[in-house]
Amino acid sequence: MTTVATFAAAAHAVSATVSRIPADAWDGPGLGAWSLRDLVGHTSRSLVTVVDYLARPVERVVVHSAAGYFTTVARSDLDGAAVTERGRQAGRDLGDDPASRFAELVDEAVRVAGGTDPDLVVHTIVGGMRVAAYLPTRTFELCVHGLDVAAATGLAVDLPARALEEATTVAALTAAQRGLGPDLLLAMTGRRPLPEGFSVV
């Protein structure tokens, strides 16, 4: 599967779960300080940014890989409160029928991704990236937050095998680039558990 096909499959899988969220659950707990609506709103930014960024070509590649994207973000002075508020605003932006709006965003993002040259260099928050390198960051976010939505609702999310392979590969490469490779490798081979608070993002 191409990065576009993998992204599309992940997006449709998450949308299928979002479509089953009961009407009375949207204001319930989602993740951390987020309500479920906020969490789904944050997840929708994986779609909105594709539409936005792929329309903004730039001249120079600054970050060459999905793992490099997350490594760069982790090293930046990220404002956690701003991330939380962006998720809340994205949730509000989903409107009165959030599941339908989420599905519309999936269709738009997949259409834009499919119609864009994968070698095009586009704007991202970490600098210029090729589309083929940027899309796996969105697949990663969709997989992680799709699982978050499933945990918050008790609904199953049927993430495609290829999307999970891509997301876990990006996570492992990010861990290695951030100096966390030994901890991850030892945990994955049953030598010892991960340290408390371990995260690659």
**pLDDT at position 77, please?**
73
Range of 56's domain?
A: 3-188
Does some domain include residue 195? no
Element (H, E) at 164: helix 161-177
Write the pLDDT tens digit of every residue in 135-154.
999 999 999 999 999 999 99
Please report, as a single letter, which amino acid is at residue 58: V
Write the pLDDT tens digit of every residue in 157-185.
999 999 999 999 999 999 999 999 999 99
pTM equals 0.95
Specify the CATH number for the domain of residue 34: 1.20.120.450
**pLDDT at position 118, please?**
96
Write the pLDDT tens digit of every residue in 95-115.
999 999 999 999 999 999 999
Does some domain include residue 198? no
CB 106 within 8 Å of CB 22: no
**pLDDT at position 1, please?**
67
Does some domain include residue 159? yes
Does some domain include residue 201? no
Categorize the per-residue pLDDT at 83 as very low, low, confident or very high, splitting at 50, 70 and 90. Answer: confident
Does some domain include residue 125? yes
Does some domain include residue 196? no
